[in-house]
Every structure is written in C-alpha cells, then in structure tokens.
Structure 1
Amino acid sequence: MVLLEWFEDVLRESGLMPLWEAVSPWLALDERQLIFVVATPVFIGLFLWEYRKIRHNPALANGRESLLNFLLGAGYQTTELLFAGLIAFPVYAFAFHHRLMDIELSWATALLLWVLVDFFYYWFHRTSHRVRWFWAAHVTHHSSERMNFSTAMRQNATNIFNGGWLFYVPLAFVGFNPVWIGVCYALSLVYQYFIHTTLVDKLHPAIEAVFNTPSHHRVHHGRNPEYIDQNYAGVFIVWDKMFGTFVEEKQDLPVEYGITRPVYSNSLIVNWCHEYADMFKAMAKRGPLTQRLKHLWKPPEWERESSEQLTVKSE
C-alpha cells in the first residue's frame, strides 16, 4: 500500500484531502487504478510530443480522433473506478480466501507473478479476438485507422462488465495477493502504451526476440489478411512464438490499421456499443436457440447457416 500512502501524503500537502475523503468511499481506487491515474499525465505529455511530429500526416494523426481516444479512455477508467470494487473485488476476495497456499512477496515471487500475469494476458487477449462476447468490448481499441499513442487510450467503458478480469482469478486462487495481480496488470498496460506508435522502427534483434515492440504491435493492429489476429502479447512476444500466433512486420507489406467492418463515429456510445448491438441483432434472428446463443462464443466473423442450408443438410 506504499503507493496509496504516498498519494495521500500529496493530497494532505496540497490541501485536497477533505475532498478526497468525501469521494474515495465511492471509488474502487487501489494501487492498480492509482498507477493509471498517475500515468495518465505522462501518457498525455508523450502523445503531445508525438503529435507535434506527425500532425501534418492525416494518415497518422487526427486531432479530433485523438481527443475522442482520450475520452474513450476516460470512460474506461471511470467505470473501472466506480464498479471494479462491486463486481471484481468480491470474486478475487473469495478466491484469495480459499487460496491453495500462502505466497510471500519477494523479488522472486514478484518476477514470477509478472510473467504469469503476462501469460494469462496473452490468453485473455487472444480470446478477446476469437470470442465475440469479448470482442464486443475489445473492438473499440482496434477501430481506429491510425496508430499513435492516443490509440492506446481507445478503450471500452464496458470492460469491467464484460468479464475479462476473470482470466486472472486463478492466480488469486493459487495464492497471489489480488493487489499484486492488479499492480502487475496495470504496469503491463503502462508498458503497452509505449508500443502504440509508428515513430519507433524495429529495435535490436535481441529485444525484438523477447519483448513486444512497436513493430510487433503494429502488426497486431493490422487488418491485412496476413496480419489480422496475430501478435497477442502484452509484454513478452515469446508467447506468440510458442503458440503459433507470431507474424513479423514486413517492409513490403505496410500495415493497414483498423477493423474489417469499420465504424466511423465520434459518439462515445456508438464506439462502445456498436458490436454489442450487431451481436444481439444477429442473435435476434429466427432460428434454434442453440444456434442463436453461439453468437456469444463463436468468432466475430461467424455467421449462422440459413434455414435453407440447414434443410439441405438434413435431407
């Protein structure tokens, strides 16, 4: 809780503690969220530095879209602050209460947890692309046709309701403190902010071999058939190499950013909810309930067979 104590000291010295004491009982502000709060000014400053260099290239930057991206990110942080304590915390508390072992915090266990959180992130991220329910929230992050630091802030306010946080609950059940899990997750997202840029070319081969880099992540944001649904890593690209989802950025194949079904809107609600609307619209079409429910867990591109096709198969 050292980070929270430091934050409270800053509030006391600035005279803002009374306001904080009035607001904080309504928020789920732990170390994880505090990391995001502290990092946000750094993110904004770094984006402004990048924007000065790319603002004259409309293919790389658009001021109105960048503002939208930060508003989308603010919405994500707001729902996390308001609802994480009500939705996710009880589940983590239950799992940690019934933990299999007591794991003391040390440099070794912290490093182990850092690697494990990244491993679980890989599978969460991969699932977010291949299961439509999770894609309905994650699609917001991929819907921009530009790649810059503001794109990293393009997040969905429904994430806390979507259930992606469940992927990390087994770590609490094993015996890792949920606070540590949250810190590792937050630091992973901070790291990933820095790989959303076109200004950094490929790094040293040793770094490219182990870590997720701007080059690797540009591929991940591509909708080119050769790039789509590849490079799911958070910090360590080795997971993609282990599980067959790694593709290297090719100089002769520029990345085309965005999604295969573009949505052009500056509305926060549209950007957060359009895929949910499409998914439920597909589920509402007439047909067997088992087929309609498959839209929840099938890949985003999956389409139900028509009644005529089903009739032909049954004959």
Structure 2
Amino acid sequence: MALMDWLNSVWQNSGLAPLWETIAPWLALDERQLIFMVATPFFIGVFLWEFLKIRHNAELVDSRESIRNFMLGAGYQTTELLFAGLIAFPVYAFAYHHRLLDIELTWFTGALLWVLTDFCFYWMHRSSHRVRWFWAAHVTHHSSERMNFSTAMRQNATNIFNGGWLFYVPLAFVGFNPVWIGVCYALSLVYQFFIHTTLVKRLHPAIEYVFNTPSHHRVHHGRNPDYIDTNYGGVFIVFDRLFGTFTPERDEEPVEYGITRPVYSNNLLVNWCHEYVDMFRDIKQRGPIGQRLKHLWKPPEWERGE
C-alpha cells in the first residue's frame, strides 16, 4: 500500500483532505486501476509527442479517432472501477482463502509472479482471438486501421463482464496475493502501451528475442493472412516462440492494420458491442442447440457445418 500512503500524504498536505476521504476507499479497492489512473496523463503526454511527429500522415493517425480511442479507454476504466469489486474481487478472495501455499513477497517471488502473470496473459490473449466470446470484447482493440499510442487505449467497457480476468485466478489459488497479481497485470499493461507505435523500429536482436517489442506487436495488429493470430505475448515474446505462435515483422510484407470484417462507426456502443450482436444473431439462427451454442466458444471465423 506504499503508493496509497504516498497519495494520502500528498492530498492531506494539499488541504483537500475531505475530497480524498471520499475517493480513497474506491481507489483502495483496486490498486490496479489506481496505476492506470496515475499512468493515463503520461499516456496522453506520450501520445501528443507522437502525434506531433506523425500528424501529417493520415495513414498513421487521425485526431478524431484518437480522441475516440481515449474515450473507449475511459469507458473501460470506468466499468472496471465500478464493477471489479462486485464481480472479480470475490472470486479472487475465495481462491486466495483456499490457497495451496502461503507465498511471501520477496524479490524472487515477485519476479516469479511477473513471469507467471505474463504466462497467464499469453493464454488469455490467445483465447481472446480464438474463442469468439472473448473475441467479442477484444475485437474493439483491433478494429482500428492505424497503429499509434492512442490505439493502446482502445479498450472494451465489457471486459470486466466478459471474464478474461478468470485466467489469473489460479495464481491466487496457488498462493499469490491478489493485490500483487493486480499490480503485475497493471504494470504489464503500462508496458504494453509503449509498444503501440510505428516510430520505434527493430531493437537489438537480444531484446527482440526475449521481449514483446513494437515490431512484434505491429504484426499482432495486422490482418495480413500470415500475421493474423500471432505474437500474443504481453511483456515477453518467449511464450510465442515456445508455443509456435511467433511471427517476425517482414519488410517485404508491410502490416495492414485492422480486422478482416471492418466496422466503421463513431458510436462508442457500436464499437463495444458489434461483435456481441453478430455472435448472438448467429446463435439465434435455426439449428440444433448444440451447434448454435458453439458460436460462443468456437473461433470467430467458425461457421456451422465445419
């Protein structure tokens, strides 16, 4: 709680203690969201720096879309802040209450948790592309046809209801404190913000081999046939190399950003919900109930009869 203690002292000394006493209980519920809130002004600053460099290239940035991306991100942060305590926290508390081990926080266990959190992220992210229910929330992040720092903020307000957070619950069951898990997850997303850019080309080969980089993540956002469903890693790219989902960026094949079934809309609700609408419309079509329900867990491109 060191971060909360520091913020508490700042607000107490500012003369705005009553306001802090109102919002502190909400922030204390989820240090993960607190990290996002503190980082967001820096995200905006870094984006503005990038915008000044690429503003004349409409293929790289559009100011109206960028504003919409930050609005999409604000919606995501709002629902997480309001509903995580009601939906996700009780599950983590239950798992931690029945934990197998009592794991103390040390440099070693902290580093181990960092790696394990990224391992869980890999499988959550891979499922978000290969299971349509999860894709219905994740598609929002991929639907932009541009790659810049604002694209990182393009998130879905339904994430907390979609259930991707369940992939991290086993860590609490093993014995890692859910607060640590949330902090590792949040810091991972902070890292991932900085790989959503075209300004950084390839880094040193040793870095490119171990870590997820802008080059690797540009590939992940591509709809080129050879790039689709690759490079799922968060901080590390080694899990993609290990599980056969790694593809390098190739100069002879420039990345075409976006999704294979584009949705062009300025409406936030459409951006958040269009894939849910399509999925339930497919389920509604006549046929055996078992086949209809497969639209929930089959890949997004799956059609009946396959």
Q: With structure 1 as the length reference, what TM-score do the two structures score?
A: 0.95
Are the equivalent residues in 1 in contact too, given 2:4–2:28 (CA < 8 A)?
Answer: no
What is the match of residue 131 of structure 1?
131
Q: Distance in 1 between matches of 2:223 and 2:273?
A: 21
Number of paired residues? 306
- The within-5 A match list for 1:138-149 is 138-149=138-149
State the shift of 1:27 in Å.
6.0
Deviation at 1:44, TM superposition (A): 0.3
Cα distance per residue 1:3-41 (max 9 Å; x no partner): 111122222222333123234445674221111011001
> Separation in 2 of the partners of 1:26 and 1:185?
19
> Unaligned regions of 5+ residues in structure 1, if any?
310-315
Q: 2:27 and 2:187 mapped to 1: Cα distance?
A: 20
Cα distance in 2 for partners of 1:161, 1:267 equals 20
Q: Secondary structure at the match of 1:254?
A: coil
Equivalent positions of 1:1-315 (< 5 A) are: 1-25=1-25, 29-305=29-305
Distance 2:14 2:87 in 1: 32
Cα RMSD, aligned residues only: 1.1
Q: 2:96 corresponds to which letter in structure 1?
A: F
Residues in 2 aligned to 1:289 and 1:18: alpha-carbon distance in whole angstroms:
56
Compared CA separation, residues 103 and 90, structure 1 to 2 (3 A)? same
Q: Distance in 1 between matches of 2:50 and 2:260?
A: 27
- C-alpha distance 91-85 of structure 1, shift in aligned 2 (>3 A): same
Deviations 1:100-139 (A, max 9, x none): 0100000000000000000010000000000000000000
Q: Please give the alpha-carbon distance, in whole angstroms, between the structure 2 residues aligned to 1:3 and 1:239.
A: 31
Write the letter of the residue equivalent to 2:57: N
Once the two structures are TM-superposed, the CA of residue 210 in structure 1 deviates from its matched residue by: 0.3
Worse overlay, 11-20 or 217-226: 11-20
> 1:195, 1:241 → 2: CA distance?
18
Give me the whole-angstrom Cα distance separating, in 2, the residues matched to 1:301 and 1:16.
Answer: 53
Gaps of 5+ in 2: none
8 Å contact 1:223–1:256 — kept in the other structure? yes
Q: Distance in 1 between matches of 2:2 and 2:300?
A: 42
Cα deviation, 1:84-112, whole Å, max 9, x if unaligned, reads: 01100000000000000100000000000
Cα distance in 1, alignment partners of residues 40 and 206 from structure 2: 30
Percent of paired sites with the same residue: 79
Q: Look up the equivalent residue of 1:102 and give its one-letter code.
A: D
For 1:15 and 1:124, how far apart are their aligned partners in 2? Answer: 43
Supply the AA of the counterpart residue of 1:268.
L
Q: In the alignment, is the contact (CA less than 8 A) between 1:32 and 1:185 conserved in 2?
A: yes
